[in-house]
Structure 1
Amino acid sequence: MFRFVTRYLGFLKAVPGTALVFDAWLRIATIFTHPEVSGYIDSIEREISGWDNTCTGIHKYGGLQFSYAKHELGHIHSNGLLDMRFSREIKQQIMAVDSRVEHHHVFKSTGWISFYIKTEADAVYAVKLLTMAYEEYRAKERTGLPLV
């Protein structure tokens, strides 16, 4: 359902609130079909929220966004899909190591990745991916590079 909506109805994200309503429906469907995924998302949120200078909020296209110093680390849609942006080089390295990591469901030719969280092991790997982004931002901050 998610891929169908993003592929054929993606234009609706321009309508204010539509993406948030869709994500709310995703959450309801996920609670009934894969209730454990909500628990995995909650555990990831607890972990990331404990990191220095991080916060969580609602992503503009729905889901839970993780930010470091006001810069997005990644976001998880309510069906357990983690989206993150890396450089294209790092994306290729990650995808070469783990076949579960895919090109982003919309921005395929960029550094964005998508990763479905379906199991507890996936949740652990999601934290690892978020840690990579977090450490990259912290390193940039320490060296005075812009956090872009």
Structure 2
Amino acid sequence: MNKLGRTNLTEELLNWIGVTKHPHRFGGVEFRLNETEIGHLHGNHLFDILLSTSERDRWIKEGRASPHHMYPDSGWVSIYLITEEDIAYAIEIARAKYDQLKSKGE
């Protein structure tokens, strides 16, 4: 995958009101709404998001995300950014997390 996918994902997230980009503690970049992480990118090919158990299970069941690459039994999911469809899934899941955070007043 080229940098276009990462650029499209990054540009989309940064277009949302209040979202900022920061270095991630394990490498890559993370996206935050205020001080709460929405998700983070590792390189150009892997996007991770922390979700509730029910949301995690739903996205995995729908085939839009995979269990986390390092901690498969956690609330984290991984989205491998291989195709444009994968990027669309990453945006969709990140938007759901963003909307949830906004509704909580974060």
Q: In the TM superposition, what is the alpha-carbon distance from 1:121 to its structure 2 partner?
A: 1.6
TM-score (norm 2): 0.92
**Percent of paired sites with the same residue:** 26
Q: What runs of 5+ residues in structure 1 fail to find an aligned partner?
A: 1-33, 142-146
Q: Compare the two structures and name the one with the higher strand fraction.
A: 2
The equivalent residue for 1:111 is 75
Q: Distance in 2 between matches of 1:88 and 1:125?
A: 18
2:21 aligned to which of 20, 33, 56: 56
Per-residue CA shift, 1:62-84, capped at 9, x if unaligned?
11211111110000110411111
Q: Distance in 2 between matches of 1:89 and 1:129?
A: 13
Q: Distance in 2 between matches of 1:126 and 1:112?
A: 13
TM-score (norm 1): 0.67
Equivalent pairs counted in the alignment come to 106
- Flag the structure with larger Rg: 1
2:94 aligned to which of 109, 114, 130: 130
Q: Distance in 2 between matches of 1:84 and 1:52?
A: 19
Q: Distance in 2 between matches of 1:60 and 1:108?
A: 19
Q: Compare the two structures and name the one with the higher helix fraction.
A: 1
State the structure with bigger RCO (CA 8 A, min sep 6), 1 or 2: 2
Q: Distance in 1 between matches of 2:67 and 2:7?
A: 24
Q: Distance in 1 between matches of 2:19 and 2:54?
A: 25
**Per the alignment, in what secondary structure is the counterpart of residue 73 of structure 1?**
strand
Note if 1:44 corresponds to 2:9.
yes
